[in-house]
Amino acid sequence: MRQLIFFSFIFFLGRSLAQSYQGPVLKLDEQSFNFGNVKIKSKTMHEFYYTNIGRKPLKLLKVTASCGCTTPQWDSLPIQPGQKGKITVTFECFPIEKTFSKTISIESNTDPSLSLIEINGTCIDPYKDQKERYNKFIGSIGFVNTHIDFDKVYNNVTLTQKLFYFFNNSDDTIRVSGFITPEHILCAASPDVILPHQEGSIITNYNANLNSHFGFGIDRIKMLTNDIDLPEKNLVISSTVMEFFDTTQINNSSLFLSENSFDFGDVKLGTVKVHTFEIRNQGTDTLFIRKVRSTCGCLEAILTNYIIAPGRSGFLKLSFNTAGASMGSNSKIVTLISSDPRKPMLNIGVNVNIK
């Protein structure tokens, strides 16, 4: 009985105190909000509503966020009893994927004076897959690859086509104004106006008929844009131009090499060693040497004549400057490209051991 009397007293005392409180009271409609997935580098907002359920005007003195990425705005005028007010919270996702939870503190003329609200969610990159695929960036544009290998192309072919794929990683529209290319290469962007986060391609047409350089070669092209980060995009094209042999026509040129390799043996560093190979045309048609190429600047290849009549010979002089090579064993290759349909590309191995 005594306990019942005590708790009844406490209840009526609390009710009496509550009824006697004459100040403002802030009641929030919700104390937290989940934004869900938010794109990085974007802003999102939510409005928190509250009611003054007290007996005097309610005034928000200060609203502060726990992070600079969160910006609150609130009503500066007093809220009368029974009226509503709102706090607008804007959140900006920084350019990194992560979950977030931020607290906003509300200071008012209530007792107690502090109330809290919370926002949370996850910052996501909706273009993550594209960035991982187009991971070779030149300025704001990402490429799957900045190098295309056309492999073997034949000198009678006027069109071989391949594509550079790209992605506009910026928030700006990028325009492709043109390309700087050699005569045998033509390029066009599709589309030539690339919207933010849009994919596209460079249609690359190779006309080997216009390329007089046989064998392996590298061409550099420039993609001209209005990208403020880097307007010119340097891309690389490699190819090996080969002679086309028409099987309906007889070609009896035949290249014979006196030896397919040569070993200079042990050589002192700084020494220049020379060796000459005989190139003989054993066929009945004229033999044309289209190109001689060395894999190293230290190995100079000099051909006495590029046109060899049937039954005649020419000579290939190789000069190895060891000053331009590394110590120890060195292996280099000289490539001969000719009109011999049976062996249009012939490699000569050259070895030297520098001490």
Structure tokens at 138: 């030149």
pLDDT < 50: residue spans in the chain? 1-18
For residue 97, what pLDDT is reported? 82
Sketch out the chain's domains with CATH numbers. 23-124 (2.60.40.10), 128-242 (2.60.40.10), 255-354 (2.60.40.10)
Over residues 58-72, the pLDDT tens digits come to 999 999 998 889 999
* DSSP secondary structure code for residue 150 in this structure: E
Q: What are phi and psi of 218, to 5 degrees?
A: -120, 130
Cα angle 40-43-44, degrees, rounded to a multiple of 5: 115
Over residues 214-264, the pLDDT tens digits come to 889 999 999 999 999 999 999 999 999 999 998 888 889 999 998 999 999
Structure tokens at 246: 């028409």
Q: Radius of gyration of the chain from Cα atoms? A: 40
For residue 21, what pLDDT is reported? 67
Sheet strands side by side (includes 98-108)? 32-39, 114-124, 98-108, 60-65
Q: What is the dihedral of CA 131, 137, 141, 142, to 10 degrees?
A: -40
Q: What are phi and psi of 131, to 5 degrees?
A: -65, -35
